[in-house]
A = this chain, B = another copy of it.
Amino acid sequence: MGHKLFSLSVKVVIRNKNGECLLLKRSMRSSSNPGKWEFPGGVVDRGEILENAIMRETMEETGLTIQLDHVAGSAESEFREWRVAHLIMEGRFVSGKVVLSDEHDDYQWIPIDKLPGIDMPEHFTAFAVEYIKKVG
Contacts and interface: CB of A to CB of B under 8 A. Distances in A.
How many copies of this protein are present in the complex?
A: 2
A118 interface: no
Sorting the interface of chain A by its residue count into under 10, 10 to 19, 20 to 34 or 35 or more gives 20 to 34
A76 B134 CA distance: 14
Interface in A60-116: 67-68, 70-76, 85-89
Q: Is the interface of A mostly helix, strand, loop or mixed?
A: strand
A85 B89 contact: yes
Contacts of A49: 5, 7, 46
Contacts of A85: 50, 71, 87, 89
Contacts of A7: 49-51
B5 A67 contact: no
A44 B67 CA distance: 22
Interface of A: 3, 5-8, 44, 46-51, 54, 67-68, 70-76, 85-89
